[in-house]
């Protein structure tokens, strides 16, 4: 796997291109925006999404999907709600047997599908892996130490991808539980919005710690119901990602929740941003999926109510605090 194609040149796609290039791979980075391709080609910098970080010389930007797809492995780094359409566009250019690595974190709104199910529907027979874990794009791009989960049901393919992407400061840990890796990555974005609201409302560190812990219980309930393993949910792509995203305003989702907690309107916050906060779209999908499986997820339901159903933030907090006392661990 010497040649790596990266589909999506936002901050995360660019950071993953940097990690692969540092591992000695030839990287082709596909961008939808012509100005991003031009910026990388002429300035060796993604000024739109990852400014101030010089890019490795072996990274080549393109606006042609066919060029990026001419690779030994592809990283799919498009937003979760556009992943299915992206696979559909990619299909005519994808060579048989070339594995794709899902690097988006979310659940499809229209179908309630995990990302692996969406990819399998559009690219049948293609080997699929999931890359997830506690990562801020800028830190990965700068070469700061990072550990992630790379989950793949096909162990030889998974091991080859680990060797292709792993390096001195970017350490993928192999897993055979793609479901667990996806549930942790998707739900933590919703919980990060909740943690941001707690911070924005100045409710204190005790409240944030309680929310993270009880949020992890929600991840576990949904994940186990969908067939994930508990150890995956307690690993890098579950507890690790949750801890990072709920502890720093570097997180797009937590910073969005913080602004909501300060009393700002969601439309105004989104209007100022070019990057995607996946939790905004995932909240409703998670709640609907949980309801269909009979899984209780009150924190996620509260976030969904605020984002999508016009609920008052303070009333949602009050309702959560008024829930009946229960035994911990359930």
Asked if the structure places residue 21 within a domain, the reply is: yes
- pLDDT cut 70: percent of the chain above it: 100
Asked if the structure places residue 328 within a domain, the reply is: no
- Helix (H) / strand (E) element for 59: namely strand 59-62
- Pseudo-torsion of CA 107, 108, 113, 117, nearest 10°? -100
Q: What is the pLDDT of residue 275?
A: 78
Confidence (pTM): 0.95
- Helix (H) / strand (E) element for 308: namely helix 298-308
Same domain? For 294 and 247 the reply is yes
Banded pLDDT at 117 (limits 50, 70, 90): very high
Same domain? For 26 and 166 the reply is yes
- Chain centroid, CA 240 distance in Å: 13
Query: On the CB side of 25, how many CA atoms lie within 13 Å of its CA?
Result: 29
- Residue 330 scores a pLDDT above 80: no
Domain count along the chain: 2
* Cross-strand partners of 75: 6, 101
Can you read off the two tokens belonging to residue 123?
A: 């690219």
Residue 233 · residue 239 · CB < 8 Å: yes
CATH number at residue 8: 3.40.50.720
Asked if the structure places residue 220 within a domain, the reply is: yes
Banded pLDDT at 326 (limits 50, 70, 90): confident
Same domain? For 161 and 191 the reply is no
Sign of CA dihedral 283, 110, 290, 129: negative
Average of per-residue pLDDT values in the chain: 96
Asked if the structure places residue 280 within a domain, the reply is: yes
- For the question of residue 188 being annotated catalytic, the response is yes
The 10s digit of each residue's pLDDT in 29-81 is 999 999 999 999 999 999 999 999 999 999 999 999 999 999 999 999 999 99
Same domain? For 91 and 235 the reply is no
Sheet holding 59-62, edge to edge: 59-62, 26-30, 3-7, 73-76, 100-102, 128-132, 146-152, 170-175
Q: Of 135, 153, 176, which residue sits at a domain end?
A: 176
Same domain? For 8 and 79 the reply is yes
CATH number at residue 219: 1.10.1040.10
* Cross-strand partners of 146: 170
Structural domain span for residue 105: 3-176
* Conformation bin of residue 125: beta by default, left when phi > 0, alpha when psi is -120 to 50: left
Same domain? For 84 and 208 the reply is no
Same domain? For 188 and 148 the reply is no
Q: Of 176, 210, 242, which residue sits at a domain end?
A: 176
Same domain? For 193 and 109 the reply is no
Catalytic residue (choose from 91, 188, 202, 293)? 188
Asked if the structure places residue 186 within a domain, the reply is: yes
Q: Of 152, 176, 200, which residue sits at a domain end?
A: 176
Same domain? For 202 and 144 the reply is no
Q: Three-class SS of residue 151?
A: strand
- Residue 305 scores a pLDDT above 70: yes
Please tell me the distance from the alpha carbon of residue 126 to that of residue 124, in angstroms, as a whole number.
6
């Amino acid at each position: 796997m010497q040649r790596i194609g990266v589909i999506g040149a936002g901050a995360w796609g660019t950071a993953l291109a940097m990690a692969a290039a540092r591992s000695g791979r030839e990287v082709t980075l596909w961008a939808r925006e012509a100005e991003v391709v031009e910026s990388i080609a002429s300035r060796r910098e993604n000024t739109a999404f990852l400014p101030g970080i010089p890019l490795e010389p072996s990274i080549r930007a393109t606006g042609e999907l066919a060029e990026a797809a001419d690779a030994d492995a592809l990283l799919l780094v498009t937003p979760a709600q556009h992943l299915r359409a992206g696979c559909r566009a990619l299909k005519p250019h994808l060579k048989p047997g070339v594995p794709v690595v899902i690097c988006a974190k979310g659940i499809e709104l229209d179908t309630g599908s995990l990302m692996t199910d969406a990819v399998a529907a559009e690219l049948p027979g293609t080997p699929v892996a999931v890359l997830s874990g506690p990562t801020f794009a800028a830190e990965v791009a700068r070469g700061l130490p990072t550990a992630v989960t790379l989950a793949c049901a096909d162990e030889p393919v998974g091991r080859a991808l680990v060797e292709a992407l792993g390096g001195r400061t970017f350490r993928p840990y192999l897993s055979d539980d793609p479901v667990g890796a996806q549930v942790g990555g998707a739900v933590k974005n919703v919980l990060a919005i909740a943690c941001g609201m707690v911070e924005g409302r100045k409710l204190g560190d005790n409240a944030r710690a309680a929310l993270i812990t009880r949020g992890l219980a929600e991840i576990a309930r949904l994940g186990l119901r969908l067939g994930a393993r508990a150890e995956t949910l307690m690993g890098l792509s579950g507890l690790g990602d949750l801890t990072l995203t709920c502890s720093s305003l570097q997180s797009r989702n937590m910073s969005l929740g913080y602004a909501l907690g300060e009393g700002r309107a969601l439309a105004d916050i989104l209007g100022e941003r070019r990057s995607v906060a996946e939790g905004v779209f995932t909240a409703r999908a998670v709640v609907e999926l949980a309801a269909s499986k009979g899984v209780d997820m009150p924190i996620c339901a509260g976030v969904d109510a605020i984002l999508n159903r016009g609920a008052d933030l303070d009333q949602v907090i009050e309702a959560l605090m008024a829930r009946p006392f229960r035994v911990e661990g359930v």
